[in-house]
Amino acid sequence: MSEPGRHEWPLFEVFVRAKRGLNHVHVGSLRAADHDMALHHARDLYTRRNEGVSIWVVRSDDVVASAPAEKESFFEPSGDKIYRHPTHYTIPGSVPHI
Amino acid sequence: MTMEAELSDDERTFHRTIERDQRVEPRDWMPEGYRKTMIRQIAQHAHSEIIGMQPEGEWITRAPSLRRKAILLAKVQDEAGHGLYLYSAAETLGADRADLTRRLIEGRQKYSSIFNYPTLSFADVGVIGWLVDGAAICNQVPLCRSSYGPYGRAMIRICKEESFHQRQGYELLMTMMGGTTQQREMVQDAVTRWWWPSLMMFGPPDDRSPNSAQSMAWKIKRHSNDELRQRFVDMTVPQAEALGVTLPDPALTWNAGRGHYDFGEPDWSELTRVISGDGPCNALRIARRRQADEEGAWVREAAAAHAAKRQHAHREEAA
Ligand SMILES: [Fe+2]
Ligand SMILES: [Fe+2]
């Protein structure tokens, strides 16, 4: 905050749904005074060529993220649960459609 | 192996990510040098897009037809977009775009030397699209695989849009070449002026590019300056022939042995001069950027005040 008045536009993360049937996907960020302006800027910045049919904007400081340093303790417990995968189960080849 | 043992876990993870051609992402640990280099490169790139709006922007009100005006407006708007994608990528590294703008205006960060040349006629608009955007594409396509995730993703978006820039420029030139003798002379004159500065866009020759080796090791950069320059020349010569213009280099000849075009040496002292601030338009470009920043200040402040007021009213209502 070295120059007053400069920093009052917060950062927003932008998510775009490319077409019906797809999830919104994170495309980048932008600065705007408020949510309405963020939506308009996102429209101009990230969908100049029909890249989207719907936009979400979220204040960046409202995003809670997992820490890369805790990646192991956070994600690895799912690694040893092989029974969560369909290939864990042996079914005779003679049984159809399974 | 002894080196390996001295590395911290963080460093090992970082090097493994690079080695396996995976991407480094914003919250990952990274060496300070990598972060600094990345911020510098992305900021410099963002500044180039933003300053790059000026030479062509000057022709928007003087475009010869509504169609050309609409195209040029869209192209210049894209360049603004490219700048913003890149500032967004820089912010993921902890940089702050207002601060980066300040550094640009104060001359503490650089932008591509090419935008310090003037646009003297409407043919320059076509030549910039063809040669300058063409050279930018050569530089940028490999950057889509740059090791820093947000930078690579921004580059993918940018590259998709650059193709329109190059094609509209080439089409404009083809139209002019089919016109009067005077129009053809305008095109040739613009080509003659922009050719060497375009070759300089790839940076100094490899033996005089001190930071390149580290950037290659970190996979920020994938090809050397000279490799990319050669690729650009090889792509461009047949396009110049199809257009019917002469590239201003007597040394330019096909070398069957190498399978590449040989070409002359750009005047590197000119590049040094223009980079260090002594190009034809450096002062003008920065003054214009500063003016836009200062004249926009009240708008930014008013919008922030309006947003604060609305939020306040909203809170009162809720209470
Ligand atoms: Fe661009
Ligand atoms: Fe462009």
Is A87 contained in some domain? no
Residues 221-280 of B with CB under 8 A from A: none
Q: What is the pLDDT of residue B316?
A: 84
Task: Judge whether residue A41 has pLDDT over 50.
Answer: yes
pLDDT at B4: 52
Q: What is the CATH number of the domain that holds A54?
A: 3.10.20.520
Please report the pLDDT score of residue B1 as a whole number. Answer: 44
Residue A58: inside a domain: yes
Average pLDDT over residues A6-14: 85
Is A48 within the bounds of a domain?
yes
A68, part of any domain: no
When pLDDT is averaged across residues A32-42 and rounded to a whole number, the result is 96
Pick from A3, A9, A65: which is nearest to B27 by CB?
A65
List the single best residue of B8, B17, B71, B88 to mutate versus A (max A Cβ within 10 A).
Answer: B88
Q: How far apart (Å, rounded) are the C-alpha atoms in residues A77 and A69?
A: 15
Whether A69 is covered by a domain: the verdict is no
Tell whether the model's pLDDT for residue A1 goes beyond 60.
no
Collapsing DSSP states into helix, strand and coil, what is residue B254? strand
**Tally of domains in chain A:** 1
Contact A31 B81 (CB under 8 A): no
Residue pair A8/A37 in contact (Cβ under 8 Å)? The answer is no
Per-residue CA distances from B141 to B152, B154, B160, B209 (Å): 9, 11, 10, 20
Q: Which amino acid is at B205?
A: P
Helix axes B97-105, B66-91, angle to 10 degrees: 110
Residue of A8, A29, A44 with shortest CB distance to B91: A29
Residue A75 lies in a domain: no
Q: Is B91 on the interface with A (CB under 8 A)?
A: yes
Classify residue A56: in a domain, yes or no: yes
Give this prediction's pTM: 0.92
- DSSP assignment of A65-84: ---GGGHHHHHGGGTT-GGG
Q: Are the C-beta atoms of residues B203 and B44 closer than 8 Å to each other?
A: no
Mean pLDDT calculated for residue range A54-81: 87
Q: DSSP labels for A14-48?
A: EEEE-STTS-EEEEEEEE-SSHHHHHHHHHHHH-T
Could you give the CA distance from residue B243 to residue A48 in angstroms, rounded to a whole number?
31
Q: Report chain A residues touching chain B, CB-CB < 8 A.
A: 2-3, 5-9, 11, 27-31, 33-34, 37, 44-45, 48-49, 65, 67-69
pLDDT for residue A72:
76
Give A9 to chain B, closest Cα distance, Å.
Answer: 6
Confidence (pLDDT) at B3: 53
B86: which chain A residues are within 8 Å (Cβ-Cβ)?
A: none
Position A6 pLDDT exceeds 60 = no
Q: Which residues of chain B have pLDDT under 70?
A: 1-5
Whether A17 maps to a domain, the answer reads yes
Domain span at A35: 7-63
Give the pLDDT score at B212: 82
* Confidence (pLDDT) at B197: 98
Please report the pLDDT score of residue B5 as a whole number. Answer: 58
What pLDDT sits at residue A5? 44
Structure tokens at B179: 């016109």
